[in-house]
Every structure is written in structure tokens, then in C-alpha cells.
């Protein structure tokens, strides 16, 4: 509780939904926040590109800057809040300027933290400043604080989560309606649940940014965004969703991180999870993070992953921490102590798999397929071939017991070469999360 | 990050499962904790009654005290950890002695905090000391930290949770096996999931302690344990569980707190929740807490509510906070600023209800019952009367739409007087948690 008598001055860069939500929260809950912090929190400066737009919040008495970097440098503020977005450009430049001029930094920017968080943490810690980013992962859920502080006594072995609300909304809607990816995406864009350019969301990049941050925090490892294996959800078809349902699974885009001792796995890809797994019930725009700590066991946190209110709630929790003098190393321990952990290649991943093939219905095809599986020591769990249509292509769905990704990929390479196989095989990972 | 160079010395009072778990965690994760705190955490003293027992942890070089109060007063320690239990006696005396001699206090003791937390917080805050109790509620789940800091920007309107693992285990097992309360309780005692004297757990007192703590924290209200309405699970029968199942509900012992502006509700009682409500899937010894904040919306946290490992994880998270200088007012804002909020009586509660009656099967009975309901303006939702047995008692189950507790109780008082009604009516609250 440092400087309890002094007003804590906040400068907010970026006045989109989250920026306006943050300004409104700081104003509307001023009394509550003063009671909790023991000092007033006051927005002294804001910056955004267009000064003329009505933003739906009261900016009277707040200094306006057209340029975020200029504000970071010269505004009368203790804390600089970056809500501009983007891994580089003005977001990065303004955070660097803020730290250089002795201001604490709070950001909601996962791309920035995933790419430059380590270097920025070194600078912040050298200067004794806070660099906080609760809002960058899982919106309003205090997952960063929980892992960094609440589970500080644990070695975390593995974590997984639904980290992108857009993908979860699309997958939930595809399952509920039987509609195609393109169709549901178009609707999500109309409803404002997906961006005009949906690449970062549907190709898994946004989830990968968040996963890299969680992995660094959980494992005490140096951030390694490049080490994240990423696969999006564009290729998921209503047919696969139908088969998943029949097999007792739901589709989720998961981020999964595992510390295997000899290296870490970081992967974002669509996964089939058992319908009764806790994470399967997290639907629509909700996010969830599940951690496994050696003393605490399984902990699940769930809530809204996006939106002005939830994200502002997370931003303000960081502001409150700093205003109360609760400044914690950015990744839970001093950045210079974070260990470089090598990334394990996906080929060495071992798990269960779903494979969908389109094959000509004629004698001997199944024998060729199963022989290829046997030659790669892949053990079949179940086969579904529904209907018969001699001489024409039919769908065959196979599920595998625990096998290595190298083995199943090897088998599929061989199977794809068979004359009777008419489309590239579709490979989807199954995660059962049993303890 | 205060005193980063200095060892942080910890004295642990009580060497039961949690005490031993805490000592072991501090020893086994010493390197990790040193990296996270920037200083060593060392157990310098312990106290317990029986010096001769082998506790399964290494106590070499640790000063032994027979008396916790003496240790609190004179041990060479920065932090005193109270794991003795009980709302008064040595637990309270030792915590008071620790604060009086300038030591921070960490406790897992919900009874102590629920009864004396406010007074102790005033003392601790006056002295600039920490008084932390993450382990007192929901075991390893960092729910105290999340509400106190992670959701600090929100007014919390309502929260509910499964706060007692013993009751949840008993209710889960009763539903899965159809067995009686007494039978399942006896088994739980054998398995170590229930105490020899199960009163605190099965009568809802333990959950009430925890709920009072959460309500104080969430609403900025002065602790009011006496204001908690408490009803346990002893009266839940396999028959009620069967009807609940038929109606699409599961039984849970919930703690529910609501801030209604003109006062607060704090209540612990068995509840029928829809089978598809998120809280319904929290089974066995797991705990969960659901909060509703005005900016963040719904947040759910779930994990193990008891056991040496999870509870030690929570205790150590408090130790780490204090060792890092992150000292927060005990109830999220200075204790002297907490507001006395009046408790609303259960009669003014409004909700849905389940009623089970045993009535003689003869003409006119249903007319008398429904007339009593009408006279109290209670609106029926559904009636189940299965089978007929003219002249003999049959079971009638009724569910009500939203009604006031005063009205339904008034109606039942009248119904109980009817000749045809053979047993006191069974009244159970239904919570739908729809937003």
C-alpha cells in the first residue's frame, strides 16, 4: 500500500470498446476503488486517433493526446494503459516510452506480450515498474493472477483452455445447427462476434498468443511464441461434427501446454473432447482455463473471454494492484531467471486420434488400410463405415488408441497413396483429460 | 517486494494433514519459491501437541514448541501460520499473540475468521501486518484472491458455491447409489471424507463460516456469521432425490449470498438445481464458487475443496504474497471501512419451491391443498401424484413458480393441519441460476 495518500493517475491509450469500458469503470466505481486502494484512481489522459467521435464516456477534464507515444512520454500519469492492439507499431512504441519515462504499464494486448513480453519485462523489472496484462488472456477471468500468485506454491505440469471466444462460438453454433463453417462465420461477423478479417481468431493465432503467455507463467519458461504449434478451425466440417457426436465427443479449439521435463509442448488445434469432460460444457463466447498443479490438483476457471465489461474488469484489477503497490514480476519470477525450455516437436506428441477417409467401396480396401496402420504400430480403437455403395466412395471413420503423431502420420501418408482413397485423410486429435 | 535479500521465516502451528502438507510444500518447492519470492522461505518453528509422533516430514533444525501461543510470541519468525482449528481456544489466542508480537498471520481456519476475522483484521491493519486466509474457503482454489484482487473493479451482486466437500460427496453418492443419508455418511466416515463428529459439515455450519467470509469480501460488508440462515442435509431422503431427478434437478448444498441494496441475504441450505446448470456438474469432494460482478459478468472457479495438498497450496500462496510484500486488507478494503449491512430474513426471500406431501388418497384432498396455495397467492407449476391407493397415504409432489418464502410457509402451515395430510410437508428450495 504505497503512497496511500496520493492520487493514482491513469493514462488510457485507445478508446475502442475496452478503452471506453475502462474509463467508464474507473469513473462509475470511483468510490469502491478508492476504498479498495486507499487512494483515488483518476484518468488524467487519453489518446485515440479521432478526437471528434462521441465515445459514450465522459472525457471532461481529461487531457487528450492524438499520439499514444507522446502521451506515454509526457502525460501526467503513474500508470499507462495500452489498449491500442497489435504486436508492434504504436502499441509497442508507447509501452516502451511509458516504461522509459517511469510509468507502470497495463496492457490487454496478447500479441504484444506474446512477441515482446520478455524484453519488456526485463526493462520494467530493471526499472522497478509493473508490467501487467491480466486482460490479455481469457478476458475477465483472473487467470493470470491465479496462476502467478494463487498457485505460486505449485509446479504446474500441464494446462489447457478455451482461449478464443470466436472459435468457441463458431464450433458451438456449427454443432447446434449443423451449418457449415463459412456460413456460421459470416453470421458471427454480422453479430460482431468475429472480426471482418477473422484470420487471427479462426486460424488459432490469437489463442496461440495467449497460450504462449500462460506457458511462460506456468512453467517459469522464457516466452516462446514461435514454438507454438498452431492449427485453426477452418477445415472442420459438419460431417466431422456429426461423427464426433456419434462417438461421444465435442469439438473445441484448445490451447494445451505441457512441461515434460525434457522440453515443453505448446499447441493450439481443434480437439475432440468427451461430451462429459468439464471443458466440453464451456459453450459460446465463454473461455475456460484448466491447470494441473502438483499440490493443488485440478483447478478450473471459467468466464467471459471478451467484451468491454469483462476486459475492463481485468484491466482495472491490474491498475488496482499497482495502485496498492502490489507489483509482481511480469511472469511470476524475475524475467532474467526464466529458463529457456526447448519446444518438443508435434511428431513426438502421443495421443488418441480420429481419422476420416473417403474410400471406394470395394473388396480389400479395409485390409490395405489396416495393414498400413499395423506397419506403423498404430492400434485401432473403432471403425465406422455406414452404408455400402459398391464401386463408389464411402466415408470410413477410424479412432486410434494412444499412438505417436509420427506413427499415425506415417500410416496416413501410406494410406493416402492407395488407389481407393479419394481425398486426403482428415486427422483430428482426441483429448480425454482423465486423471 | 520488500526485504528481498532477507530470508522469510515461517512458524507453523498444528501438524495435522494440512500442517504437514505445508511444511513439505515449503521444503520440496524451496527453489521454485525462492525464484518466485526473490527470497528464501524457511520453516523455523513448529508446534503440535505430541512431539513423539512421526509426521512424515523432516523437522531437522526446526525449533519445536509444545505451546502454539508461546511459539506465536517468541519464535524467530516473520509469519505465523495457524493450522490448529476451532473458532476460539489456542487458535485464536495464538493468532492474537502473533499479531501482538509483530508477526503476519496466515490461517486456514474458517471458524476463527468467520467469528473473529473482523476484530483481528482491525488489529492487523492497525499494525501494518497481513492477515490472510486463502485456505479457509474452497481449499486450493484461489477464490479469496480472485474476489479480493482479480474482481476488485466490480460490485458483486451475488455469489453462490459448493463450499463443503463432505456434503457434496454424500449428496453425489446418494444420487448415484440410491442409498440413505445415514448409510452414505457412515461410509464417508470410514473413507475419511467425513469427521467422526460430522455436525459442522452435514448441518451446514462449515459452509456457513465460508459463506460469511465470502459475503464480507464480495460486498464490502462487516462479517455477520450470525446473519447466515443455515439448514443442513440430514433430512434429504432417497425419495426426494428420485423426484428431483424426475423433475430434472440435482441436490446441492449451496451457500448463496445476495446484496439486495436494502440488505443482504446469506443462506446455506440444500437446493435443487437444474441438471444442466454449471454448478450441477461439480461432483464428489470438489468445490466451486460462482460470482456475478457488474462489469465482469459470471465467473466460475472450481477445484479440490480439501486435503493436505490443495490446502497447503492455498496456505503457501498467502505466505508468498506476504514474503513478496503484497499485503492486502483482510477483506479487500480496510476493516474500519466495511459497512454493517442488515441481514434480510428468509421470509422475504423469493424463489421457486418443491414440496412433498404424504396425503390420504381420497376425494377432495387435492382441492383442499390447492385452495390453501391459492389463498396464499402461491402459484403451482407442476403436480406429480404417481399411483393410486384409495384410503391409504400416497406421495404428492408439487413445484411452485417464483413465490415468497412467507407465502409458501403460510400455505404449508394450513396444509399441515388438514386431516388427510399424514406427515409434516417437506419444503426444498429450487434455484435455476438463469441470466
- B1 pLDDT above the threshold of 50: no
What's the pLDDT at A248? 96
Q: Which residue of B has its CA nearest to A330?
A: B36
Stretch B227-252: mean pLDDT, rounded?
97
Q: In this structure, what C-alpha cell is assigned to residue B291?
A: 460470482
Task: Indicate which CATH number applies to the domain containing B96.
Answer: 3.40.50.720
Closest CA to B132 of B221, B120, A39, B38: B120
pLDDT, one tens digit per residue, over B28-47 is 999 999 999 999 999 999 99
Same domain flag for A118 and A181: no
Q: What tens digit of pLDDT does each residue of B156-167 get?
A: 999 999 999 999
When CB atoms are compared, the residue of B21, B153, B334 closest to A38 is B334
Record: contact B310-A298, CB cut-off 8 A: no
Inside any domain, residue B3: no
- The mean per-residue pLDDT over the stretch B124-130 comes to 98
Which among B232, B283, B313, B260 has a CA at the least distance from the CA of B17? B313
Average pLDDT score over chain B:
95
Chain A CB within 8 Å of residue B21 CB: yes
* DSSP conformational letter for B103: -
* A-B C-beta contacts closer than 8 Å: 186
CB contact under 8 A, B151 and A145: no
Q: Does B313 touch chain A (CB under 8 A)?
A: yes
The residue out of A113, A136, A159 marking a domain boundary is: A136
Give the span between the Cα atoms of A411 and A427, in whole angstroms.
11
The answer to whether residue A144 scores a pLDDT higher than 50 is yes
User: Considering A9, A92, A145, A210, which one is annotated as catalytic?
Assistant: A210
Exposure pattern of A154-191 as b/e (b: 16+ CB <10 Å)?
bbbbbbbbbbbbbbbbbbbbbbeeebebeebbebbeee
Mean pLDDT of B52-78: 93
**Given this model, what pLDDT does residue B434 score?**
66
Q: For A428, phi and psi rounded to 5 degrees?
A: -130, 135
Other residues' Cβ atoms within 10 Å of the Cβ of residue A348: 13
B196 burial type by CB count under 10 A (0-12 exposed, 13-18 middle, 19+ buried):
exposed
Question: Is B435's pLDDT higher than 80?
Answer: no
Interface contact flag, A142 B150, Cβ < 8 Å: yes
Is B332 a member of any domain? no
Alpha carbon of A390: minimum distance to chain B alpha carbons (Å): 44
Answer whether residue A2 shows pLDDT above 60: no
- Reading phi first (left if > 0) and then psi (alpha if -120 to 50, else beta), residue A426 is in beta
Q: In this structure, are A12 and A127 located in the same domain?
A: yes
Looking at residue A361, its pLDDT comes to 87
Q: Is residue A131 part of a domain?
A: yes
Residues 6+ apart with CB under 8 A from A401: A352, A379, A380, A381
Distance from CA of B348 to the nearest CA of A (A): 28
Do B356 and B396 sit in the same domain of this protein? yes
What are A371-403's pLDDT values in tens digits?
999 999 999 999 998 777 787 889 999 999 999
My answer on whether B384 and B264 are in the same domain is: no
A326 vs chain B: nearest CA distance in angstroms?
5
Three-class SS string for B174-233?
HHHHCCCHHHHHHHHHHHCCCCCCCHHHHCCHHHHHHHHHHHHHHHCECCCHHHCEECCC
Instruction: Tell whether A116 is covered by a domain.
Output: yes
pLDDT for B386: 79
Q: Cell 446441492 maps to which residue?
A: B252
Residue A338 falls within a domain, yes or no?
Answer: no
Judge contact between A431 and A399, C-beta under 8 A.
no
Is B51 a residue whose pLDDT tops 60?
A: yes
**Residue A238's CATH number:** 3.30.360.10
Residue A16 shares a structural domain with residue A71: yes
In the DSSP assignment, the letter for residue B149 is I
Residues 95-114 of chain A whose Cβ lies under 8 A from any Cβ of chain B:
none
Give me the mean pLDDT over the B276-299 stretch.
Answer: 93
Tell whether B341 is within 8 A of chain A (Cβ).
no
**Residue B156: which residues within 8 A CB-CB, separation 6 or more?**
B147, B218, B219, B259, B291, B292, B293, B294
Binned at pLDDT 50, 70 and 90, residue A1 comes out as very low
Q: Is A325 within the bounds of a domain?
A: no
**Closest CA–CA distance from residue B334 to any residue of chain A (Å):** 7
Q: Is the pLDDT of residue A255 over 80?
A: yes
Domain identity same for A39 and A57: yes
Residue A322 in domain: no
Same structural domain, A205 and A276: yes
Domain that holds residue A189: 146-304
Q: Is A2 among the domain residues?
A: no
Residue to mutate among A295, A309, A328, A336, with most B CBs inside 10 A, is A295
SS3 of A229, please? strand
The answer to whether the beta carbons of residues B81 and B106 sit under 8 Å apart is yes
**Which of B24, B124, B153 to substitute to test the interface with A, most A CBs within 10 Å?**
B153
Considering only residues A1 and B180, tell me which one the structure prediction assigns the higher pLDDT: B180
Last residue of a domain, one of A98, A116, A136: A136
A176 annotated to a ligand binding site: no
Q: Which of A21, A149, A295 sits opposite B310 (nearest CB)?
A: A295
Q: What is the ipTM of this complex?
A: 0.94
Residue B206 contacts by C-beta under 8 Å, 6 or more apart in sequence? Answer: B110, B111, B163, B164, B166, B200
Burial class (CB in 10 A: 0-12, 13-18, 19+), B205: buried
* Cβ of residue B220 closer than 8 Å to a chain A Cβ: yes
CATH number where B419 lies: 3.30.70.260
Q: Name the domain boundary from A274, A304, A334.
A: A304
Q: Average pLDDT of chain A?
A: 95
B301 vs A299: CB contact, 8 Å cut-off? yes
The total number of structural domains in chain B stands at 3
What is the distance between the alpha carbons of residues A350 and A365, in angstroms, rounded to a whole number?
27
Mark yes or no for CB contact B141/A325 under 8 Å. no
Amino acid at each position: 500500500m504505497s503512497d496511500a495518500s496520493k492520487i493514482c493517475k491513469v493514462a488510457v491509450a485507445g478508446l475502442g470498446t475496452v478503452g471506453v469500458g475502462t474509463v467508464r469503470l474507473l469513473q462509475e466505481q470511483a468510490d469502491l476503488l478508492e476504498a479498495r486502494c486507499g487512494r483515488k484512481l483518476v484518468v488524467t489522459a487519453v489518446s485515440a486517433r479521432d478526437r471528434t467521435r462521441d465515445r459514450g464516456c465522459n472525457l471532461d477534464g481529461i487531457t487528450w493526446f492524438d499520439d499514444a507515444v507522446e502521451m506515454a512520454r509526457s502525460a501526467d500519469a503513474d500508470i499507462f494503459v495500452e489498449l491500442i492492439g497489435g504486436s508492434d507499431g504504436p502499441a509497442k512504441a508507447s509501452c516502451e516510452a511509458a516504461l522509459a519515462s517511469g510509468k507502470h504499464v497495463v496492457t490487454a494486448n496478447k500479441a504484444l506480450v506474446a512477441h515482446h513480453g520478455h524484453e519488456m519485462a526485463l526493462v520494467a523489472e530493471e526499472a522497478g515498474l509493473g508490467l501487467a496484462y491480466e486482460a490479455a488472456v481469457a478476458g475477465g477471468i483472473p487467470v493470470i493472477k491465479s496462476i502467478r500468485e494463487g498457485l505460486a506454491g505449485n509446479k504446474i505440469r500441464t494446462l489447457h483452455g478455451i482461449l478464443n471466444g470466436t472459435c468457441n462460438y463458431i464450433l458451438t453454433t456449427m454443432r447446434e445447427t449443423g451449418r457449415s463453417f463459412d456460413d456460421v462465420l459470416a453470421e458471427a461477423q454480422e453479430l460482431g462476434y468475429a472480426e471482418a478479417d477473422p484470420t487471427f481468431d479462426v486460424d488459432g493465432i490469437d489463442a496461440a498468443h495467449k497460450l504462449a503467455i500462460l506457458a511462460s507463467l506456468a512453467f517459469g519458461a522464457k516466452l516462446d511464441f514461435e514454438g507454438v504449434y498452431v492449427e485453426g478451425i477452418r477445415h472442420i466440417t459438419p460431417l466431422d461434427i456429426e461423427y464426433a457426436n456419434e462417438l461421444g465427443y465435442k469439438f473445441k479449439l484448445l490451447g494445451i501446454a505441457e512441461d515434460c521435463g525434457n522440453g515443453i509442448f505448446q499447441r493450439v488445434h481443434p480437439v475432440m473432447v468427451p461430451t462429459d469432460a468439464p471443458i466440453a460444457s464451456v459453450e459460446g463466447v465463454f473461455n475456460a482455463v484448466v491447470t494441473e498443479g502438483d499440490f493443488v490438483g485440478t483447478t478450473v476457471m471459467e468466464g467471459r473471454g471478451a467484451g468491454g465489461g469483462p476486459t475492463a474488469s481485468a484491466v482495472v484489477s491490474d491498475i488496482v494492484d499497482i495502485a496498492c503497490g502490489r507489483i509482481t514480476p511480469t511472469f511470476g519470477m524475475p524475467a532474467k531467471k526464466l529458463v529457456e525450455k526447448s519446444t518438443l516437436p508435434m511428431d513426438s506428441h502421443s495421443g488418441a486420434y480420429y481419422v476420416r477417409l473417403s474410400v471406394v467401396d470395394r473388396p480389400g480396401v479395409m485390409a490395405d488400410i489396416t495393414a498400413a496402420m499395423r506397419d506403423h504400430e498404430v492400434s485401432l480403437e473403432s471403425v465406422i463405415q455406414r452404408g455400402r455403395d459398391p464401386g463408389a466412395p464411402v466415408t470410413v471413420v477410424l479412432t486410434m488408441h494412444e499412438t505417436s503423431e509420427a506413427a499415425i502420420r506415417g500410416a496416413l501418408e501410406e494410406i493416402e497413396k492407395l488407389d481407393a482413397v479419394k481425398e486426403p485423410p482428415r486427422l483430428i486429435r482426441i483429448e480425454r483429460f482423465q486423471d
